[in-house]
């Protein structure tokens, strides 16, 4: 099992393909330089701190007292000559947020364009799913400074398996706007950007391609597996996923290599296959969008399958907010959200672990948190715990994140109000500290 986990694409054609395309391909000449950030959130030097009248989130509510920071961690000893003395009366501290599903920091251009946006929103940790290895390598180099880096700490999934007509090929083959080069062909990406498998024999034969990626996890695509006739429809090329008999074989091979396995499931039938195959995580809640000719019943997770997921300790990444990126009527969006709420209730009742992830290219996990709050299924204390404690722990389990006890990393956000009572406080961050370094301090 990889270090970042100890337990436990959206369909093409509905949103702008240009956005999805850039996630997987190297930028063109016009995009070779990062765009300027709105403000500089590079960290200052690590300092000692005395935080009087602090109120900090502990996973259920807020505790109060005085906190001390030394050498980038919280300290249990009083600091006599702290470099920063702060009276935080009336203010609130929460740990930084994490995003377990995104794609927008997967090459150097993206890091320069969006990296500081994560910090601006208080998101210090993220998982990039289905990154192209070369692009991920470039970002790793930029992010290697750790606490010094002007962007979040990242985990990458660089081994992504789909069918010959599966996601994300439709996005990858969409002609890039303003591109002077030829339109991409399938062979430009098959077994290069993504790995393609269409039979049990290919799983065996192509497994060395997975191993060569040296990925921190593996992801496979399932989409509308209950409708095999769609594979004969040219309009669905690049929008589907693996044959139902392949995931179990893929998981078996992945477990032999101690890889964590993430399954994308667009429908309830996909979810069933993902759970029964032995996948550790489901990349997003089924029902992000209702495909043409389908209704809520195609996306409804059964109580029995939810119970099986809980028994197997399968974690589900929420990723509900990206529904807003799809073209649908307000009435349809209302139905989609109602089904999302229904699935969340079913998963919660069964005790399925939930992780916070957004799948928002041009937003952040704050949008996901707000959408979940709007759905009204998960209480705010639990939402905050998912965002600031549960998800960071899963991404970086060997580190003491999301806590304020002595020895925990001194990374936190200072808010002007209690976010349990006023969720908008998350958009009014007054100070960001990462490992004892104030961001934006020079």
Q: Is the pLDDT of residue 41 over 80?
A: no
Q: Is the pLDDT of residue 20 over 50?
A: no
Averaged pLDDT for residues 33-40: 45
Q: Is the pLDDT of residue 325 over 50?
A: yes
Residues 6+ apart with CB under 8 A from 193: 24, 25, 132, 172
Reported as a single tens digit per residue, the pLDDT across 175-228 is 554 456 677 888 888 888 899 999 999 999 999 999 999 998 999 999 999 999
Please indicate whether residue 337 or residue 16 has the higher confidence score (pLDDT): 337
CB 57 within 8 A of CB 384: yes
Burial of residue 278 (number of CB atoms within 10 Å: 0-12, 13-18, 19+): middle
CB 394 within 8 A of CB 355: yes
Please indicate whether residue 306 or residue 32 has the higher confidence score (pLDDT): 306
Please report where in the chains the tokens 């200072």 appear, as a residue. Answer: 414
Please indicate whether residue 157 or residue 440 has the higher confidence score (pLDDT): 157
Reported as a single tens digit per residue, the pLDDT across 103-160 is 999 999 999 899 999 999 999 999 999 998 999 999 998 887 765 677 899 999 999 9
Q: Is the pLDDT of residue 8 over 60?
A: no
- Predicted pLDDT at 175: 53
Share of the chain above pLDDT 70, in %: 88
Least confident range from 164-173, 348-357, 369-378, 428-437: namely 164-173
| Residues 34, 139: Cα–Cα separation, whole Å | 12
- Predicted pLDDT at 150: 79
Of the CA atoms within 13 Å of residue 204, those in its CB half-sphere come to 3
CB 394 within 8 A of CB 315: yes
CATH code at 17-28+35-39+95-399:
3.20.20.140
Reported as a single tens digit per residue, the pLDDT across 337-389 is 999 999 999 999 999 999 999 999 888 899 999 999 999 999 999 999 999 99
């Amino acid at each position: 099992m990889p270090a970042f986990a100890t337990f436990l694409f959206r369909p093409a054609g509905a949103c702008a393909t240009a956005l999805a395309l850039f996630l997987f391909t190297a930028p063109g000449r016009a995009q070779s330089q990062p765009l300027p950030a709105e403000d500089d959130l590079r960290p200052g030097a690590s300092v000692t701190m005395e935080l009087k009248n602090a109120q900090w989130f502990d996973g259920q509510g807020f505790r109060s007292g005085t906190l001390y920071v030394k050498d980038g961690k919280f300290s249990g000893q009083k600091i006599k000559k702290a470099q920063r003395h702060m009276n935080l009366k009336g203010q609130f501290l929460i740990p930084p947020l994490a995003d377990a599903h995104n794609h927008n920091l997967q090459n150097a251009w993206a890091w320069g364009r969006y990296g500081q946006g994560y910090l601006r929103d208080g998101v210090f940790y993220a998982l990039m799913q289905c990154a192209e290895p070369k692009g991920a390598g470039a970002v790793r180099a930029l992010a290697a400074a750790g606490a010094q880096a002007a962007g979040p700490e990242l985990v990458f999934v660089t081994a992504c398996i789909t069918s010959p007509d599966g996601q994300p090929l439709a996005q990858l083959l969409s002609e890039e706007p303003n591109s002077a080069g030829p339109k991409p062909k399938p062979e430009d990406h098959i077994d290069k950007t993504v790995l393609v498998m269409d039979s049990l024999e290919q799983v065996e034969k192509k497994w060395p391609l997975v191993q060569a990626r040296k990925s921190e996890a593996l992801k496979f695509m399932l989409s509308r597996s209950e409708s095999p006739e769609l594979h004969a429809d040219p309009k669905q090329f690049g929008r589907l996923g693996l044959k139902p008999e392949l995931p179990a074989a893929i998981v078996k091979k992945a477990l032999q290599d101690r890889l964590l396995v993430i399954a994308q499931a667009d429908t309830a039938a996909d979810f069933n296959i993902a759970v029964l195959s032995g996948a550790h995580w489901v990349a997003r809640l089924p029902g992000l969008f209702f495909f043409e000719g389908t209704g809520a019943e195609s996306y409804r997770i059964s109580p029995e399958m939810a119970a099986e997921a809980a028994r197997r300790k399968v974690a589900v990444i929420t990723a509900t907010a990206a529904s807003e990126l799809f073209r649908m009527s307000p009435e349809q969006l209302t139905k989609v959200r109602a089904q999302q709420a229904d699935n969340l209730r079913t998963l919660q009742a069964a005790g399925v672990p939930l992780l916070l992830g957004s799948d928002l290219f041009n937003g952040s996990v704050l949008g996901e948190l707000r959408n979940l709050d709007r759905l009204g299924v998960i209480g705010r204390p639990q939402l905050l715990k998912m965002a600031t404690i549960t998800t960071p722990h899963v991404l970086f389990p060997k580190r003491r994140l999301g806590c304020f006890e002595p020895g925990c990393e001194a990374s936190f956000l200072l808010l002007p109000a209690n976010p349990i009572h006023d969720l908008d406080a998350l958009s009014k961050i007054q100070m960001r500290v990462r490992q004892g370094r104030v961001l934006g301090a020079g």
